[in-house]
Amino acid sequence: MMRKSWIVLVIILIGFLIKLLQETASAKPIDSNTLINNAFKYDGKVVEFQGEAIGEIMKRGDFAWVNIHDGQNAIGIFMRYEDAKKIKYLGRYRVKGDIVYVKGIFNRACKEHGGDLDIHAHKAEIVKRGYKVDEKVDRAKAVFGIGIFLIGSFLMWIVFRNKW
């Protein structure tokens, strides 16, 4: 009887460990829409979030604010300044920002920061480096635009010349 109990207990523990390993291996960052739409559910809980670092790094003592945009919304991340300094590229015009992975506590209405929705990061790492984007002008569109401008200017000249 005792032997059967041990076997059942070992099977349950193995099942629990397999489930735990599957959950940690398949953990994916939560998207911003899910966080915003289910803010009460995630409030005060540890979440994983990933996206492009945009805007500016705003230093606040030993910490810094960084906005992370996951393609849908941007969320303010409060992290150690040492982690924020690792970010080389911030997304803006002609620059694709670093992709940053963050793990930290989600706050629906942060008491420390005036009631804003934010994440206080415990862990932040660069997943992919950003880069500068070269802007390419389509020559055919440029010639077409200049042509339309010249035709319009010529027609305006004819109208005003004959009117006065």
Q: 97-127: per-residue pLDDT in tens?
A: 999 999 999 999 999 989 999 999 999 999 9
* Closest to 119 in 3D by CA, of 27, 25, 32, 23: 32
Beta-carbon count within 10 A of 48 CB: 15
Q: Which residue has the higher pLDDT, 163 or 14?
A: 14
Phi, psi dihedrals of residue 67, rounded to the nearest 5°: -90, 130
CA distances from 47 to 34, 71, 102, 104, 140 (A): 11, 18, 8, 6, 48
pLDDT above 90 (res 92): yes
- Proportion of the chain in helix, strand, coil states, percent, rounded to 5: 40, 35, 30
- Per residue in 10-48, pLDDT (tens digit) is 788 787 777 766 554 446 899 999 999 999 999 999 999
Q: What is the largest CA-CA distance in the chain?
A: 113
Residues forming beta bridges with residue 47, ordered by sequence position: 104
Q: Which residue has the higher pLDDT, 149 or 27?
A: 149
Give the confidence band of 70 by pLDDT, cuts at 50, 70, 90: very high
* Rg (alpha carbons) of the chain, rounded to whole number: 27
Cα torsion for 99, 69, 62, 44, to the nearest 10°? Answer: -110
Q: What is the pTM of this model?
A: 0.70
pLDDT on residue 74: 95
pLDDT on residue 25: 43
pLDDT on residue 6: 73
Share of the chain above pLDDT 70, in %: 93
pLDDT on residue 9: 72
CA distances from 37 to 40, 78, 102 (A): 8, 21, 19
How large is the average pLDDT for residues 61-67? Answer: 96
| Burial category of 108 from C-beta neighbours within 10 Å (exposed 0-12, middle 13-18, buried 19 and up) | middle
pLDDT above 70 (res 88): yes
Q: How far is 44 from 105, CA to CA, in rounded Å? A: 6
